[in-house]
Structure 1
Amino acid sequence: MSRSLVLYPNGKKNSNVNGHISLFLAIAATNDLSLGWEVNVHIRFFVFDQIRDKYLSIHDASGRVRRFHKLKTEWGFHQLLSHDTLNDLSNGYLIDDICVFGVEVFVIKCNSKGESLSMINEPQSNIFTWKIDNFTASKDEAYNSEHFTVEGRRWKLRLYPKGYGTGAGTCLSLFLRFGDSETLPSNKKLYAKYKLRVRDQIHGNHHEKTVDHWFYDPSIGYGVHEFLSLRDLQDASKGYLVRDGLFIECKIYAISIPF
């Protein structure tokens, strides 16, 4: 990981610093780093006293660990030295218009636990079609599909014919959830990207929405509360409900597999 010192002779811009120099340690070439990179360090800056052949050491008195990441690529001091101190020849910091700066970096090993996973795009047997007959005849609050399996995981769809949550009373609500008895290891999550669809059985103008989510609780489904308005669902010209039969589809585009 490449690092560099960044000196602001008249103070860092927009920091409201007057009469001081600012010095920062920066992570360079961040575009070459892996996604989600970070590094934790202790930093100690130095200014060389050219008269006495020794260094002035400047560091955070609290000893705080500084965390570099994509949104924070610089750490340092806005008021490292005043111009008066720097320009005072007796201090030895600026001699013959030459000033020498240095930095000591101690990288802190991170003890936090991570999680590794592989992402499978377009998994096999990733499309599930569910036909609901006698749709309007049932008085059930929710419909549950039969189970289907993708990459060794059991799934099912849950449909609320009169809506759920923010869709209650106005929309059909549709969710994907784990199948019965499906579990995840403790503190693990599973990512899935999927498309939920209600088929237009007449024109082929299907109503669909793409969802992506991290699944962590087998008892909770993820999807869309306001998936399809009940007005459109019951409009015969839309082709969603034909002879009281409804076709629901789910296509899983990507799924993570922990290892």
Structure 2
Amino acid sequence: MSLTSLEDYIKYKKRNNSHFMLVDGMSTLMTENAKNCESMNFHAFGLRWKFNIRLDLVKDYLSAYLTIADEKCTGSNWGVTCWFNLSVISQIGELDICTASVFSFDSNHVSWGVSSLISQEMLKQKFIVNDKAVFCAEITGVIPLFLNVIINTFSPTMGTAERVKLMKVPRNNSRFTWKITQFSSFSAMGTAERVKPIKVSRNNSRFTWKITQFSSFSGESHSSYEFTCGPRRWYLEMYPKGYLHGKGNSLSLFLHASDFVSKAPVEATSAIYKLRVLNQQKRNHHEINTAHRFTSNTRWGFNKFLELEKLHKASNGFLVNDAIYIGVEFLSMATREYL
């Protein structure tokens, strides 16, 4: 089935109170570190929901979960009994894989689902076509309880659909590197300049920032310039003396998601990436791979990214002539569009 006919199939399939998620790039999802794909928020029976598929909970199986994400469902005095179906949609005319469930959602249980919806082997053999798979969450009934008042009158909601494209970020656009000089004496009034990209490993280009007068730094944190990768802008934030439980013992490092630069839906951006402090002598860099779903103006990183003792040890090569290189490399990213 071609992409156009697949989109048409989704578009015209009966889907009241349903949300379809076409995942384009299943091989990336199944081979990279994240192994988790979450839908946009959608509405059904007057409430807001989302669902996600996971490949990291039960070995060799795909899991699927429905989450209630409505602003009315806050605090502790609420509950929603929900009947729903989670499905893998066949693209070749075979029967869909579908599980029907009924669960009570509350402040302690905002997500319910099935841990073994389909084996990865069956998924690859019968449900992935041209690296694409289609998943669906259908809400068939709800009984909400808010402030001890049962609400049981809802009109059907027109179904929605989205396409999630999981892409590996091209190497020549995947890295951002921040060079900080005079690290031990950096001041809050320090200056910064952009310098030429440095070649740290073959076929990789990177942006580099040089920040002077760093040894007199008196502020708690410092942020890099914004840079663009995928559908949005990003920047790095570093705490040279640590943050929270890393304070006084570690360098803390975070990646921030900023504004969107494309016409993609303003939804969360799922990214797989590595944060790094470069070894300037042996190229034995300190790197941590991670994955996160970035909503509006959020960050993800590590309070204890690199121990200060290791950072300042000259033989480790992280600080050379009072200069440090801090960077991020994107491995893959999910972009979204409405169907």
Q: TM-score, normalised by structure 2?
A: 0.44
* Alignment partner of 1:122 is 2:172: no
Tell me, yes or no, if structure 1 residue 174 matches structure 2 residue 219: no
Q: What is the aligned length?
A: 169
Say which is worse superposed, 181-190 or 160-169, in terms of deviation.
181-190
Structure 2 CA distance for aligned equivalents of residues 72 and 204 of structure 1 = 42
Equivalent of residue 155 in structure 1, options 225, 229, 234: 234
- Secondary structure of 2:185 counterpart: coil
Classify 1:154/1:108 alpha carbon distance in 2 versus 1 (closer, same or farther; 3 Å): closer
Counterpart of 1:71 in structure 2 is 115
TM-score (norm 1): 0.56
Going from structure 1 to structure 2, the CA distance change for 1:120 and 1:206 (only over 3 Å counts) comes to same
C-alpha displacement at 1:133, in angstroms? 1.2
Deviation readout 1:177-206 (Å, 9 max, x if unpaired): 023x55999982110110011011112111
CA RMSD of aligned residues (A): 3.3
CA drift of 1:34 comes to 7.6
Identity of matched residues, %: 32
Report the Cα distance in structure 2 between the residues aligned to 1:108 and 1:255, rounded to whole angstroms. 29
* TM-fit CA distance, 1:71: 3.5
Q: Could you say what secondary structure the match of 1:228 adopts?
A: strand
Give yes or no for the alignment of 1:205 onto 2:287. Answer: no
User: Are the equivalent residues in 1 in contact too, given 2:223–2:236 (CA < 8 A)?
Assistant: yes
Aligned-partner Cα distance in 1 for 2:179–2:139: 57
> What does residue 299 of structure 2 align with?
221
Counterpart of 2:316 in structure 1 is 238
Cα distance change on mapping 1:168 and 1:37 into 2, 3 Å: closer
Aligned partners of 2:226 and 2:245: how far apart in 1? Answer: 26
Which runs of 5 or more residues in structure 2 are unaligned? 1-60, 67-82, 86-99, 103-111, 118-137, 142-156, 187-216
Q: Max radius of gyration: which structure?
A: 1
Counting only pairs closer than 5 Å after superposition, residues 28-67 of structure 1 correspond to structure 2 as 36=64, 40=84, 66-67=101-102
Change (3 A) 1:257 1:243: same
Q: CA deviation at 1:122?
A: 2.6
Q: Provide the rounded CA distance (Å) in 2 between the counterparts of 1:72 and 1:208.
A: 33
In 2, the alpha carbon distance for the partners of 1:241 and 1:168 equals: 19
Do 2:231 and 2:260's aligned partners in 1 also have CA atoms closer than 8 Å?
Answer: no
What CA distance in whole angstroms lies between the structure 1 residues aligned with 2:241 and 2:139? 55
What is the one-letter code of the residue matched to 2:245?
A: T
Task: For residue 242 of structure 1, give the secondary structure of its aligned residue in structure 2.
Answer: coil
- Note closer, same or farther for the CA distance 1:242–1:36 as it changes in structure 2 (3 Å cut): same
Could you say if the C-alpha distance between residues 239 and 254 of structure 1 is closer, same or farther in structure 2, counting changes exceeding 3 Å? same
| Distance verdict in 2 for CA 1:257–1:238, change over 3 Å | same
Distance in 1 of aligned mates of 2:257 and 2:65: 32
Task: Note if contact 2:257-2:295 (Cα within 8 Å) is conserved in structure 1.
Answer: no
The residue matched to 2:306 in structure 1 has which SS? strand
Structure 2 counterpart of 1:134: 182
Question: Per-residue CA shift, 1:128-154, capped at 9, x if unaligned?
Answer: 111011111122211211121112311
Q: 1:69 deviation in Å?
A: 5.4
Any idea what the Cα deviations from partners look like across 1:95-152, whole Å, max 9, x if unmatched? xxxxxxxxxxxx9747686754211113450111110111111222112111211123
Question: Which amino acid in the other structure matches residue 224 of structure 1?
Answer: F
Deviation at 1:40, TM superposition (A): 3.8
Structure 2 CA distance for partners of 1:223 and 1:109, relative to 1, 3 Å: same
CA distance in structure 2 between the partners assigned to 1:34 and 1:229 by the alignment = 37
How far apart, CA to CA, are the structure 1 residues paired with 2:225 and 2:266?
27
How far did 1:70 drift?
3.4
